[in-house]
Structure 1
């Protein structure tokens, strides 16, 4: 068995956007990742287009079609309004038809995603969005904290998968927090509940070559989305070798 690695290309786009032009080419770097064996590519377009732009989404959607069995995952806030040339998350999904859409409750003001959905507050609004996405043949994953009550609500709403937000785990691991074991157990409990409810399990945010040695053991983990750390590691190791290093960590059993 192995965990699927979906490489998040946002940081490549962020570097490109620091200058005029198309250097580095985001799609070309996505091709390097797929040639190295990554099972998928992830993008998280935001209305302010701070990194991934709508045209990147279109080009990467076409790239992934060249690689049989490879998946394209678009992340984003379904409630964010269109802005300028950003048409909105659902419009991009309808146009490009990714294999998976990961819904994330981030806001324009957030530097990065830093919490999962509160489905008591947002669940009712999400139901028609889930139904629309699924009618297009798109698998829906909800970005979630390891909260058992919230995970039960995700299943009741009709989600196909959850993506466990791993930021707190990564921080505790880096700081060698004595409570790391208890925190990791929360993720284990969440994963076991999700599996019992028929939900698929993804994970992402600040996972890296060090903390994946533990997190890869999570029961039922199917996919990890990794971008920031992978991009930083590529500065030292090269992109191809970095992807292969992460793929080695994703081998289990």
Structure 2
């Protein structure tokens, strides 16, 4: 079974929009684990517009499944990861001003930099994963860097799914097979949802983990609204 790690950035976004501590990201993580989530993912950014550095420190104390911290490895991020020592760190090359991650690493161009960062994290017992586009050359480059895993950037798959799912998945199958051949673990994430996740799992059953946040939280709102409305009506009666 492919493991599910839930990205809770959107819960932090909702909290930050109002101030205070509701919804509480620590409580959300604990509940998600109790519901069966096999990991918790966070992606702190320099402007702390959703997950804050303090959240990462708080979550480290309570997460009992796998804890995955994503981000661009600037010095502040590196220091945070080395301090909190998550199960896994996922290196993502997002610029400070992007709304969300929008590209994988060029593992050839940035080979020396990535090699050093990966080596430092692994020396502290932290599993490393590199965010890559579905490009076999980037997968091969990641293997040369020495990472433990890659995370396939799945936005293109999600966008192409409704038009031609077989065509959309093919680059990912090829890259996953190459990663497996090279001895790399395989993660995936970005725009995976209830609509497209089953087909992805059928085609790449040997993947290790998917990280899902935006779609899962949105789907939870839809699926949970009926229960909450009925609870309010019951209390009001």
Same fold at TM > 0.5:
yes
TM-score, length of structure 2 as denominator length: 0.92
Deviations 1:86-125 (A, max 9, x none): xx11111111100000000100111100111011221111
Residue 71 (structure 1) aligns with: 66
Distance, in Å, in 1 between the alignment partners of 2:82 and 2:224 is 34
Q: Distance in 1 between matches of 2:159 and 2:108?
A: 27
Residues 4 and 198 (structure 1), Cα distance of their counterparts in 2 relative to 1, 3 Å cut: same
The question of 1:231 aligning with 2:217 is answered yes
What is the DSSP-based 3-state SS (H/G/I as helix, E as strand, rest coil) of the residue aligned with 1:121?
coil
| Correspondence for 2:170 | 185
CA distance in 2, matches of 1:208, 1:124: 35
- 8 Å contact 1:6–1:226 — kept in the other structure? yes
CA distances 1:45-104 after superposition (whole Å, capped 9, x unpaired):
00010100011101111111xx3xx1000000003x6xxxxxx11111111100000000
2:191 aligned to 197, 206, 211, which one?
206
Partner of 2:146: 158
Aligned length: 225
- Structure with bigger gyration radius: 2
Q: Is the 8 A contact 2:5 2:211 kept in 1?
A: yes
Task: Tell me the CA shift for residue 219 of structure 1.
Answer: 4.2
Structure with greater contact order relative to length (CA < 8 Å, sep ≥ 6): 1
CA distance in 2, matches of 1:219, 1:27: 31
**Equivalent residue in structure 1 for 2:207, among 221, 224, 242:** 221
- Cα distance, 1:182 vs structure 2: 2.2
The whole-number CA distance in structure 1 between the counterparts of 2:16 and 2:58 is 16
Where does residue 52 of structure 2 map in the other structure?
A: 53
Instruction: Tell me the residue number matched to 1:245.
Output: none
| 1:237 shift after superposition | 1.7
Check conservation: 2:122, 2:128, Cα contact below 8 A: yes
- 8 Å Cα contact 1:192/1:220 also seen in 2: no
Distance 2:216 2:168 in 1: 24
| 5+ residue gaps, structure 2 | 228-237
Map of 1:14-25 to 2, 5 A cutoff?
A: 14-25=13-24
* Corresponding residue number in structure 2 for 1:107: 95
Give the ranges of 4+ consecutive aligned residues of structure 1 lying more than 2 Å apart after TM superposition. Answer: none
Q: Aligned pair 1:147/2:99, yes or no?
A: no
Root mean square deviation, CA, Å: 1.4
Gaps of 5+ in 1: 82-87, 242-253
